[in-house]
Amino acid sequence: MSDFHQTGLITTLHRLGAPNLEQLEKELEETLLLRPIALVLPSLYSELQGEAMPWIVEELSQVRYLREIVISLGRAGKEEFERAKEFFAILPQGPRIVWNNGPRIQALYQLLQEHGVSAGPDGKGRSAWMAFGYVLARGQSDVIALHDCDIVTYSRELLARLCYPVANPKLAFEFCKGYYSRVTDRLHGRATRLLVTPLIRALQRMIGYQPFLVYLDSFRYPLAGEFAMIADLARVNRIPWDWGLEVGVLAEVYRNCAIGRVCQVDLLDTYEHKHQVLSPDDPTKGLMRMAVDITKSLLRTLAEEGVPISDSLLKTLPVAYLRSARDMMSRYQNDAYINSLRFDQHEEGMALEAFAQAIRFASEEFVADPLSVPLIPNWNRVLSAIPDFFARLREAVDLDNG
């Protein structure tokens, strides 16, 4: 299924015509000397034992246009780290593993804390940030791509399409966001469908024209975990360490990159990975925690853009959100019916009500401390505080992998 319609501010690169993986990979190999590419994989050790990761490694072993692969490994002890090195050893790109739980990297996190540039607690955002730092420290790649490690339907076509718009100088993009449909026998992607899009549109109705909201609403899948960017963006972008990572990255790109240099690309016909539980009674877990973190990140960004975030706006927001979300749910219901997909109206309605509560929790936390939204300092600031940090990071990772 494809179309060539361009909507919103962001250039959309569609899947049109016959598959062209071989041509894309050939062109990426030709540009390797001009714009070498690093792939960052933020992975928990448990994902190495899952269904997706062995297949991802098998596909990556056939990719010849990558200069380097950096795995940022989390929740792994010494034995797990050694097994991870064996697991990734089949990759011909000479992968390096950032062992986040190892004593050397932990010492670097402590050093950051002591100098007032904390990278925050353990999480995907911190893992990705440290891997970006290692790529920058090596200075071997001009493009950095990142994708999740739980993609059951992974194909190396995903990586080629993700890298191509930034790595190929003919396109001249500096940031590329992936998108795809999350469909099996039903519609998935609840956090995007039922939270982010309705929330953005509710805020647009309440605030009026706001360029950042128009920009966000132009992305077909703002919570997709796949993106590629020039290395300079990785140096200057701040990113959240919590579940607001994807929205936070888009916000930093909005600040640091011209809109004409940003695109989104259709990666795969189908995309399937693990699904978060809703946890409607516990805002610290599952999709509820994600919803709280995303909402706080969005409110913080709007405040930074000069939008007054008043008590009256925050009290009205959950109600306005529910109206917007119910309208969107009706659209998705009709879309499901015409495609003979399962659609549980009660289940979807429960998700809306839970997300409305999450928005209320996030609003209360934001009012209590508007500056509490966690952002990791960018690498320029880190190097200003600790000039030899890149040398320390290179040494730590190289010794761990030696």
Average pLDDT value over all residues in the chain? 94
pLDDT digits (tens, 9 = 90+) for 173-203: 999 999 998 888 899 989 999 999 999 999 9
Percent of the chain residues topping a pLDDT of 70? 99
The answer for residues whose C-beta is within 8 angstroms of residue 28's C-beta and 6 or more apart is: 37, 65, 160, 163, 164, 167, 168
Distances in Å between the Cα of 35 and the Cα atoms of 172, 263, 335 are 11, 18, 41
What average pLDDT does the segment 14-28 reach? Answer: 93
pLDDT digits (tens, 9 = 90+) for 199-253: 999 999 999 999 999 999 999 999 999 999 999 999 999 988 877 789 999 999 9
Alpha-helical runs (H) found in 305-377? 311-338, 345-368
DSSP 239: B
pLDDT band for 340, please (50, 70, 90 cuts). very high
Alpha carbons 67 and 91: distance in angstroms, whole number: 12
pLDDT band for 373, please (50, 70, 90 cuts). low
Q: Residue 14 pLDDT > 80, yes or no?
A: yes
For residues 115 and 277, which has the higher predicted lDDT (pLDDT)?
115
What confidence score (pLDDT) does residue 96 get? 98
Domains of the chain: 11-401 (3.90.550.10)
pLDDT digits (tens, 9 = 90+) for 374-386: 789 999 999 999 9
**3-state secondary structure (DSSP) of residue 12:** strand
pLDDT digits (tens, 9 = 90+) for 254-282: 999 999 999 999 998 877 766 577 777 77
The answer for residues whose C-beta is within 8 angstroms of residue 152's C-beta and 6 or more apart is: 51, 52, 55, 272, 273
Q: Residue 1 pLDDT > 80, yes or no?
A: no
